Structure 1
């Protein structure tokens, strides 16, 4: 009889675990899940692969894995650094690669250009794709080129990448290279860019921007803004993260902060560990760079090669949720979402290995007491609200 009772209790326990698992996975699949930053287009160019192939163990993303992970809306980053010649043309070539994928896979992915098209595409169980142009240098100081990128499906512009441009200064330059910049914040043309984006209905992205640029945006924009892939400075004090007053300003503006999964922006000890790793593997790293691989991609390659070594010092998933909790406590649950930076980073928290892992965030949120309505806001509802408000 005792054995029977123990067996029955164990059965009930297992059923409970199964129901819980099904619930967090079901919530993830049923929500409109929006990720505002993924660098797979750049990764595909660097690694000479195609998004619609199975890229397991090659990249963090591919077309079928987006579906498996429950991703409904993906903003694909269009990126080049400040040294790229003809950056506007390069941006268009990156966009061309996604258009080609969409043409080959019309039942799986659609490039959408407004909120209603997005909803229709999600309802049809296809991936709704938009572009986020990561760096204002790609408009080449020409509002007509900004219009052109918008017309092709770019729905946000990150005003700067790490490099400043002639009309906006970056967080890196304002913080680390202050003596080299000729101005600080937005110029008159920079403010014209912001106002033009407001008129278009294009989201203004302040990830990567310097503090002065950030405050100039806040004082210029008439629409809610986003930080497409940023975290909390007070937890991890790196120049790319948002300070409390900036977080509060985004809340007051009605905008949303999309959390970056990069270990170095979540864990204040990660950069030191990465530096030690780079020293330990200096010969291999230098060799890869000498062969033409960008340093960031070379590090990513070495991280994959020495995965056992690296995995030991990846931060926990709970640390990402700590950043989320911090923002919620400061400005409320209506102003936070997800901007993973998958395929633009060499390390994410434990368990968040690729685009199939979003349900684990839902699981963690449930364990912290977030209800279904709030989880749906975090997974995508907040971003969709801001997108719709900008269109209006």
Structure 2
């Protein structure tokens, strides 16, 4: 890798606005303070990749709730207690910048899914007190007060968008200085929320519909609305959101190994079965992965539509089965800087994309 890219990368504040390692840590019992041979994140590889700031996603499916959210926050607190010289919890821009100066990983908490507040503003406030800096209004499942992209796009929601309670959630988030995260939400929810928001919003891990038309990606009018609002769109590294050819390739891979996939699914569940199958046929699965330039294509699209001040990085590591070639963990983030330089981005613009835009967003929501 060119020395220029390394130099630029390490001068930037590198922020990843979405990583799913905490749920995996609880399930597997691994210590992500130590180098791991599986998964995409640990503190060793974070340091190798020049990662300065990680927003740890608090995630569970629709069966989980407030208690599971707190279990994951507990696991992050425990990690920080074990490695106080390597990682620290931050809650605003000033604390973030201080952590970077101390060469510690700045850890922030993002709650991925409004179902975890269990229709209770008191529980929302409790999560904010524990360090939640953003709430993703929905995951794939809708709540009684907000419709998700997954369900709204299928016409499964009779009255899509935000209910009166959903609007009170957005108001409460703005009041508390907690970022409103509009990844995963349905279009009507998106526009209801951004119209109501009095502070700039975050889209923590999404891509561009104009490049790959899947329900989780943002259409041009949504991108323009984020620009008008002053918000930031963090580009997701999941192959299925980046590359319009990936889904068909992956489906062919599953068909080819159908009996083995079924056997593994019966034994472990589908998610672990897919990971196991990919690990077994690694070179074959790698052929389905897009090149890293596809990430830059999505960044370019947003920049050309609304400007360089409104785009960031939300890799979704440990939250999907496939990422671009060469992007195997947080240790590989310098490759993004190299690709941005090759595309002609200036150092000043790269600093904004890698983290400066998010720091500005955090300051505008929470102060500091």
Indicate the TM-score class for this superposition, using the shorter chain for normalisation. Answer: over 0.9
Corresponding residue for residue 82 of structure 1: 62
Supply the distance in 2 between the matched residues of 1:223 and 1:158 (Cα, whole angstroms): 15
Whether 2:224 is the aligned partner of 1:248: answer: yes
- Calculate the TM-score normalised by the size of structure 1: 0.91
Corresponding residue for residue 70 of structure 2: 92
Contact 1:160 1:169 in 2 (8 A): yes
Contact 1:37 1:340 in 2 (8 A): yes
Corresponding residue for residue 35 of structure 2: 54
Contact 2:19 2:318 in 1 (8 A): yes
Query: Matches of residues 1-392 of structure 1 in structure 2 within 5 Å?
Result: 21-56=2-37, 58-84=38-64, 87-176=65-154, 178-179=155-156, 181-293=157-269, 295-392=270-367
Cα deviations by residue, 1:262-288 (Å, 9 ceiling, x for unpaired): 000011111111122222222332233
Cα deviations by residue, 1:182-237 (Å, 9 ceiling, x for unpaired): 42100000000000000100011100000000000111000000110000001000
Cα deviations by residue, 1:267-316 (Å, 9 ceiling, x for unpaired): 111111112222222233223332343x2232122212211001112111
Supply the distance in 1 between the matched residues of 2:5 and 2:183 (Cα, whole angstroms): 30
| Greater mean alpha carbon deviation, residues 282-291 or residues 347-356 | 282-291
Supply the distance in 2 between the matched residues of 1:302 and 1:111 (Cα, whole angstroms): 36
Contact 2:250 2:288 in 1 (8 A): no
Supply the distance in 1 between the matched residues of 2:15 and 2:171 (Cα, whole angstroms): 26
**After TM superposition, what 4+ stretches of structure 1 lie above 4 angstroms from structure 2?**
none
- Calculate the TM-score normalised by the size of structure 2: 0.97
Supply the distance in 2 between the matched residues of 1:113 and 1:386 (Cα, whole angstroms): 13
Corresponding residue for residue 13 of structure 1: none
Contact 2:114 2:139 in 1 (8 A): yes
Contact 1:338 1:378 in 2 (8 A): yes
Shift of 1:351: 1.3
Contact 1:43 1:344 in 2 (8 A): no
Q: What's the RMSD between the two structures over aligned residues? A: 1.2
Task: Figure out how many residues of one structure are paired with residues of the other and give that number.
Answer: 367
Shift of 1:54: 1.6
Contact 2:55 2:109 in 1 (8 A): yes
Question: The residue matched to 2:331 in structure 1 has which SS?
Answer: coil
| Greater mean alpha carbon deviation, residues 306-315 or residues 113-122 | 113-122
Shift of 1:340: 0.2
Supply the distance in 1 between the matched residues of 2:94 and 2:248 (Cα, whole angstroms): 45
Supply the distance in 1 between the matched residues of 2:30 and 2:130 (Cα, whole angstroms): 23
Contact 1:300 1:345 in 2 (8 A): no
